[in-house]
Amino acid sequence: MFDDTLDRNDTPPNGTDQPLAPRRRCRQGLAAVMGLGAGQAMAALPVTAPPSRGINPGNYIQTMQDYAYDIFLFLGLAVATLAFFAVSKNTIGAYGEVQDGKGTWGQLGLNFGVGVLLLVFVVFLLTEAAGVL
């Protein structure tokens, strides 16, 4: 596949006829990139973080349930974050309408108040869901 000769456009850096580094090194690097030396690379993988409820030695089902609990809590936080962004976007849009003269300050206050109530409701539901899990 590779040969040890120079291409037509390759010139040695010092102007001599001595060839550049052999292409065998390229093959070794290519083999390492393709994963032929992956057995050595997997020797020092990091340890998985324990779940927030702790590890139960020998009880793998409980450990998996604890990891699932952490995943669902993370998804709940993601839902709350998306709700916050939606309320923020809506309130900023209502403020823009007030500045353009298309809306009133009362509409902005109502929009903000309903958004805050929505966020409180979302956080309440997530707290209850965490208790059920």
The rounded average pLDDT for each run of 10 residues, N- to C-terminus, in the chain (133 residues) is 54 56 59 58 76 86 90 92 94 94 92 94 90 80
Contact 100, 79 (CB under 8 A): no
**Side-chain-facing half-sphere of 1: CA atoms under 13 Å:** 7
pLDDT of residue 130: 83
Q: Which residues touch 97 (CB under 8 Å, ≥6 apart)?
A: 103, 107, 108
pLDDT tens-digit series, residues 115-132? 999 999 999 999 898 888
Q: Is 34 exposed, middle or buried (0-12, 13-18, 19+ CB in 10 A)?
A: exposed
Nearest to 94 by CA among 75, 81, 107, 79: 107
**Tokens describing residue 3:** 């040969």
User: Can you list the alpha helix ranges (DSSP code H) found in the chain?
Assistant: 24-33, 38-41, 60-100, 105-132
In Å, how far from its chain's centre is CA 80? 17
In Å, how far from its chain's centre is CA 26? 33
pLDDT of residue 8: 53
d(CA 46, CA 88): 39
